[in-house]
Amino acid sequence: SRKITEGFLANRIEKEIGDKDRILELYVNRIYFGSGYYGVEAAAEGYFGKNASQLTIPEAATLAAAIPNPYHRSPRTFPETSERWRNHVLNRMSMENMISEADRDRFQKSEIVTRARQNVTGRSAFAYDQVRQEVEHLLGSESVAKGGYQIYTTIDGRLQQLAEQSIRKHLTRIETHSEFNHPTLEEYQIEKEEFRRKNKNSDARFRAPSYIQGALLLIENETGAVLAQVGARDFSDSMFNRVKQGRRPLGTAFKPFVYAAAFQEGYFPGSRVDDTPMDARQIMIGGMTGILGEWGPESMANVYEGSIPVRDALSKSKNSATVRVGQEVGTTKVVELAQKAGLPFEGDLKKFNATFLGRNPASPEELALAYSIFPNHGRRPKETFTITLIKDRQGNVVYEPHTATIDAEAIDGYTAHQINTILSDTLKTGSGQKAQDYGLKDMPIAGKTGTEYNFTDNWFAGYTSEVTCVAWAGFDQTKKIFNGAFSSDTTLPIWVDVMNAAAESFEPKPFLPPVDAEAVEISRKTGNLATAETTFENVTNAEGITSQVLTTFLEYHRPGTNVSAFGQIGTSQSNSRSTRQRAQTQKPGGPIIPQLAVAGDAVPVFPIAATLLAEDDPYRSETGVMRARIASFTVPASANGEETDGQAVARPIDSEAGAIVAQPILPLSTATALDQIPIRAEPLQAEPVKSEPVQEDEEGAQAPRAIPATPADRPAEPREIRLPAPKPIEFD
């Protein structure tokens, strides 16, 4: 039916216009010739760098051959197929006596030479293609084919060019890493060129690229205007725009939304959280045995710090602490906040604790819009855009955007400011402090590293008061980049390059708290409200001069917050059954004793040797456990009925002398390096004590169970420990 309709239409066109040459002229001046060129004049300029009237016969035949299938016969995208169909056109011209057979043979032997890909905007192919798509969406492909429009975009040419250069530079550097064992961009392009040479007269297509890819998006916070966009390393290898279409797990870049949900519930950065090992079954990332891997802190040397401020837990990207905060708040509230910020969730993933560590996939565009809630005091732009104005050939305005923000707040201004200050610390003393090594300028700026489990996807997301930028690196198919590939080494330097340049055009302003926010002074020594005794500390320098140093800092919170009422998140002091994890107790004359307090049946197993049989242990499971080779056990009452207030006592025992070995107290100071604390690797023996009887709370949760640990109970050789199966998760 379509062909019959076209036949009648052709008849009407011929009757109306009459001249077939005129009909052909109108036709070739509006049809698509591939590679983004509409009309023969644009195609001649784009492919060969000349006017249509200056084309040679082989060049004209090349364009004529592209008309039936402009994508697959483009001389730039598929040169072999284009040459084969060009030769077909030349052969037909010879048969129609338009050229001689000698000319035909000579023309068919000539090589198709196209000019290097350029466009009149001077910007990247991805940015240019995005503009084309938006214009076609706004005006329609038929209208666009007529041409004559003046199109104004949001793209900043300087920032766009710098973003492309930075991605090429730093991803090429990654490919030279000693442990990087994947195909490189250079190797792929050499193979691609060889394939084309061998398949000149074939429609065979070369395989999709498998080298490491990168993507970057820079937007204006207030409007969502796109200032720079890079969808891949090379548009000619892959036209897939990873900024908009590529969704990958966010990894630890998701953490700010967990803490934002906690702050919305009344916690504040000075609240304390338990940073100690966690059983892998509580999160189920990387398996269901052993200790949860700490890939978030952007370091191969993992250190647990005990009770720490929530501020430090986020700025240092602590995984176990983050899960405890998320459990305290609940997955429902965390997911609801993230969805308000614009992040998608698929299936039942949002019901699991793995959500707290960014297992949900999102695109760089979605993450950039979500992060913009922090500098925007809780709101975000409705969408991104690249077109600011379109005029027709007469100068009439035919389109201008109507920028808008989401009506509902994702968070309030108090929470936004708290996250801003913490993520500012991330770049100074936290997981992103390498930014200083990469030359980050001194300005009000905030950001968060994002490393997915097993070093597969690397993110860095951050912002100033004016712009938000997200950089990603990884593979289209999930693969480890290399062992120890943290985002602080891969995407952070790209982000720093772009943000430094953006600051020249978009001057950052300080992050200010809401006018009615209340300030509270916190002691760095105790983590509690500052007192006269904890405000200053005497410090003696190398010359023996002692001076007083201020050891407090200010935190801002919403009016009416009772900052002295908070317990320890993730311990028995918390009111939430699901977050009772682990407390710290200290006995006079002995070490700080880790006291187990677990949720349900999940009991962490503390290794005393390497737990992985492979050649490497990327999460340092042997050395990363807090207070290595120190354990605590709760034992039944002794024969003489001695009691110790229900607390377990564990002290190192000299196996030869049978005496307790004197040990220094291990402070919970964040400045203490655990690997520098002298701890003798002696067998442990718990003094016989009487534990509290097992009791249940209102919800039926049991207190920690007694674990015998007398010398007679402990075999000389390691034995298999069978843990009870975890309780099934029940959903509403």
Amino acid at 440: L
Per-residue DSSP letters for 159-228? HHHHHHHHHHHHHHHHHTSTT--S--HHHHHHHHHHHHHHTTT----PPPP-S-EEEEEEEETTT-BEEE
Rounded to whole angstroms, the Cα distance separating 361 from 718 reads 41
CA 307/CA 304 separation, integer angstroms: 9
Tokens standing for 480? 């480890």
Q: Which of 93, 582, 543 is nearest to 292 (CA)?
A: 582
Q: What is the pLDDT, as a whole number, of residue 258?
A: 97
Tell me the two tokens of residue 665: 């107290």
User: 296's torsion region: left (phi>0), alpha (psi -120 to 50) or beta?
Assistant: alpha
* pLDDT for 85: 95
Which is higher by pLDDT, 293 or 626?
A: 293
Q: pLDDT tens digit string along 234-268?
A: 888 888 899 999 999 999 999 999 999 999 998 88
Kindly tell me the burial class for residue 540, based on how many C-beta atoms sit within 10 Å of its own C-beta (0-12, 13-18, 19 or more).
Answer: exposed
b/e sequence 298-319, b meaning 16+ C-beta within 10 Å: bbbebbbbbbbbbbbbbbbbbb
Say whether pLDDT at 605 is over 70.
no
User: For residues 463 and 591, which has the higher predicted lDDT (pLDDT)?
Assistant: 463
d(CA 610, CA 291): 12
Cα-based angle 426, 432, 436 (whole degrees, multiple of 5): 105
Band (pLDDT 50/70/90 cuts) for residue 47 is very high
pLDDT at 203: 63
Q: In this structure, what token pair is assigned to residue 188?
A: 């792929």
DSSP state of 131: H
Neighbours of 567 (CB within 10 A): 14
DSSP H or E stretch at residue 365? helix 364-371
CA dihedral 160, 162, 163, 165 (to 10 degrees): 120
Give the Å distances, CA to CA, from 702 to 166, 323, 597, 632, 722.
Answer: 55, 21, 10, 19, 20
Amino acid 352: pLDDT: 87
CA-based nearest residue to 262, from 208, 220, 314, 302: 314
The Cα–Cα gap between 679 and 551 comes to: 29
* Residue 360 to residue 254: CA distance in whole angstroms: 9
Taking only the tens place, the pLDDT of each residue in 488-519 is: 999 999 999 999 999 999 999 999 999 999 88
Q: What is the pLDDT of residues 332-377, one digit of tens each?
A: 999 999 999 999 998 777 788 899 999 999 999 999 999 999 999 9
pLDDT at 658: 40
Parallel/antiparallel/unpaired status of strands 272-275 and 536-540: unpaired
Q: What is the largest CA-CA distance in the chain?
A: 117
Q: What percent of the chain has pLDDT over 70?
A: 74
Helices 255-264 and 331-340, packing angle to 10 deg: 110
d(CA 153, CA 132): 11
Q: Name the DSSP class of 507.
A: -
Q: In which band, very low, low, confident or very high, does the pLDDT at 686 lie, cut at 50, 70 and 90?
A: very low
Residues 6+ apart with CB under 8 A from 283: 292, 323, 353, 354, 356, 357
**What is the C-alpha separation between 490 and 449, in angstroms, rounded?**
10
Given a cut of 50, is residue 707 above it in pLDDT?
no
Predicted pLDDT of residue 193: 87
pLDDT at 565: 57
Q: Looking at this protein, which amino acid is placed at residue 537?
A: E
| pLDDT tens profile 518-571 | 888 887 766 677 777 777 778 788 888 887 777 787 888 888 877 765 556 765
- What gap in Å lies between CA 634 and CA 706, rounded to an integer? 5
Residue 224's region, left for phi above 0, alpha for psi from -120 to 50, else beta, is left
What's the distance, CA 181 to chain centroid?
Answer: 22
Give the separation between CA 149 and CA 129, rounded to whole angstroms: 16
Average pLDDT of the residues in 561-590: 45
Distance CA(297)–CA(322), nearest Å, equals 11
Per-residue pLDDT, 542: 80
Element (H, E) at 58: helix 57-66
Give the pLDDT of residue 566: 56
- 594 versus 402: the higher-pLDDT residue is 402
Q: CA dist 234 to 130, 164, 665, Å?
A: 15, 10, 57
- Pairwise pLDDT comparison (701 vs 18), residue with the higher score: 18
Question: Looking at 475-531, which runs of residues are DSSP E strands?
Answer: 518-523
pLDDT tens digits, 79-98:
889 999 999 999 999 999 99
Residue 380 pLDDT greater than 60, yes or no: yes
Task: List Cβ neighbours of 554 (8 Å cut-off, separation of 6 or more).
Answer: 519, 520, 521, 522
pTM listed for this prediction? 0.68
Specify the higher pLDDT residue, 715 or 172: 172
Mean pLDDT of 415-438: 95
Please report the sign of the dihedral spanned by the C-alpha atoms of residue 133, residue 139, residue 145, residue 150. negative
**Residues 505, 228: Cα–Cα separation, whole Å:** 13
Rg (CA), the chain: 33
Burial class (CB in 10 A: 0-12, 13-18, 19+), 141: exposed
Report which residue type is found at 461.
Answer: A
Q: Which of 504-532 are b and which e, b meaning 16 or more Cβ less than 10 Å from the residue's Cβ?
A: eebebeebebeeebbebebbbeebeebee
Please report where in the chains the tokens 């609940």 appear, as a residue. 330
Q: How far apart are the first and last CA of the chain?
A: 54
State the residue for tokens 């550097």. Answer: 173
In sequence order, the β-bridge partners of residue 597 are none
Q: Determine which helix (DSSP H) or strand (DSSP E) holds 447, and give its type and residue range.
A: strand 446-451
Please identify which residue in the block is written with the tokens 């929530």.
310
Structure-block tokens of residue 580: 């009772």
Tokens of 669: 């100071």
pLDDT of residue 731: 66
pLDDT of residue 331: 93
Residues 6+ apart with CB under 8 A from 336: 261
Residue linked to tokens 């304390």: 272
Contact 592, 668 (CB under 8 A): yes
Query: Residues 219, 181: contact at Cβ < 8 Å?
Result: no
Q: How far apart are CA 244 and CA 339, in angstroms?
A: 17
Token couple for 14: 């011929």
